[in-house]
Structure 1
């Protein structure tokens, strides 16, 4: 059912114990703040500066590589994680969970050499699910991507039966930590922080009833909080400028929800997504595009003007990899190893092509090229063109890949695992010319 927006009075009401909690003083102060901006050589959060998987178009990352070709550096990583590398200034940041030491940590590497600069332990122990339902075997205990506001680092982890957001300074010292909600493990946890004005916004949908929470970036104090249905879901908050306004669009729990990112007030909400969604929503300026895979497969285009109308819907299974948009067309890598181009206006398939393998990593757009990596470590480079499928290159690196690569400053930063005997060892590769 379509829900109308909150009134101005409701926006300034703190309704403790309800589904909508707003600290009005912080919200009003945040309204005048600016979301931090970064040079094109940075990748400050999940899915990049535009939050849509597109890299700066005026760069030339390699299209061919191997274990020995076009490798600027590679660094062995402790433990396992599926979060993407985050790039800021001279450093690369990423999260990992090390079973040997029972720690969840943030790592900082030198961007030029790959040398480890520091490691900050965020949680010690307690990151298993305490004898209850274990996570999906494909999940990791460090599947979120680090975000930065230029002064701090933010990361989400499931630990000790709950999801926590942690802020660190750029030297790795923990500044604050905030519990989002208790969390019942179903498949795992991997939602990443989103930065908006003075806020860091995080989510923790789960079968026990989760929340979307906006915190003051400097202090961790909760500015607003929205309780969510007691259903499993894995999407990250997506902040889009669509239909002339900033909207925090969130899919899953059988809903497509748009909130005012500054206050948490409902802009619009419709029933229509599936229960479990993984992908991060994107827009063409008019529609928001949603996808999910349980209990039903779907890709849909929802008008973001508050009308509650769904322009089109298909039963395509794009469950885990997020989609891309370019010039009126959607490009997607289906979980089952198929690339597809769809007309944004109609939902009609323009072309399909089999790539092969199984996909969990999301594709990345660079100019007119798409880079898509499957779980077996095969990366397919093809044109973002509605005319036809045109493969540019195919490369193999490693045997196990779940993390989405980061492409920035003509380099590809990709998290790859090799099997060394019966041991799985992760590496971060920097592909491209030597810096």
Structure 2
């Protein structure tokens, strides 16, 4: 069996413990169907061990902190090997544990630096409409088919402070990618069919590691972003900034915003803990 990070293998096991009772369900993106970790499934196991409540386990050839995503019988995740010089998307059968596809998506020429607690493949993929969207920070973003072929690739240059982190967001016909670097910070919206850039919103400030959240409002959808020093709402269709709320002298935020009871909840805390409840109009 190939050498594997125990953390990665544990992610695969835990995921299958939760989903095997309901393979017809879908977990298409970071933090599930609504992006907030909620599931309508019932009757799921609450405890497990090495002998209880799991169907199978396999080792993944490399390391990656990306969450698995699932649609039907397919479980997709990403990993990196050779110090990040070989970046992969892998698909496993949820029913049998058989590796269905293992695609080298990018092969950076040089080793790149990451934080000791990060991995080379931390952003979570998205599976939707027969396609899988994967993101490896500045080293590349790609669309694959669920049959394992590459549709398009794109690169969005920026220098990461800690390595790849934020996950992409799919909204209607756009794949929205956070690029929060130490040299530049921006959101880029790519056409999900072609990978062509449709809009870009450049913003000032230091790096952030958070993933934005799309929320519904009476005036239309908003993309809420936990940026350094402030929370920003953006029209996901156009990239127009809608409102901004200051957050203090914080950066490198990790938590994704959550939305409920008519409020957006955001937290940060590089220099000091901050929790905010914000109305959708800012």
What interval of TM-score do these two structures reach, taking the shorter chain for normalisation? Answer: 0.7 to 0.9
Counterparts of 1:125-136 in structure 2 under 5 Å?
125-126=108-109, 128-129=111-112, 134-136=113-115
TM-score, with length taken from structure 1: 0.57
- Which structure is higher in RCO with an 8 Å CA cutoff and minimum separation 6? 1
**How far is the alpha carbon of 1:227 from its aligned partner?**
1.0
- In terms of fraction of residues, the more strand-rich structure is 1
**How far is the alpha carbon of 1:43 from its aligned partner?**
0.8
- 1:50 maps to 2:60: no
Cα distance in 2 for partners of 1:224, 1:300 equals 28
Equivalent of residue 147 in structure 1, options 126, 130, 134: 126
* DSSP-derived class of the 2:198 partner: strand
> Measured at CA, do residues 163 and 267 of structure 1 come closer, stay the same or move farther in structure 2, by a change above 3 Å?
farther
* DSSP-derived class of the 1:203 partner: strand
Larger radius of gyration: 1
> Measured at CA, do residues 128 and 300 of structure 1 come closer, stay the same or move farther in structure 2, by a change above 3 Å?
farther
Which residue does 1:253 correspond to in 2? 228
* DSSP-derived class of the 1:76 partner: coil
**How far is the alpha carbon of 1:243 from its aligned partner?**
5.3
Cα distance in 1 for partners of 2:99, 2:216 equals 37
Unpaired runs of 5+ residues, structure 1, are 1-38, 307-435
Cα distance in 1 for partners of 2:83, 2:202 equals 35
**How far is the alpha carbon of 1:242 from its aligned partner?**
3.7
Cα distance in 2 for partners of 1:41, 1:49 equals 10
- 1:67 maps to 2:46: no
Cα distance in 2 for partners of 1:86, 1:40 equals 13
> Measured at CA, do residues 101 and 206 of structure 1 come closer, stay the same or move farther in structure 2, by a change above 3 Å?
closer
Equivalent of residue 175 in structure 2, options 200, 208, 215: 200
* DSSP-derived class of the 2:57 partner: strand
Which residue does 2:59 correspond to in 1? 76
TM-score, with length taken from structure 2: 0.86
Equivalent of residue 96 in structure 1, options 66, 69, 79: 79
Q: How many residues are aligned here?
A: 259
Cα distance in 1 for partners of 2:267, 2:207 equals 15
- 1:172 maps to 2:148: yes
Which residue does 2:212 correspond to in 1? 237
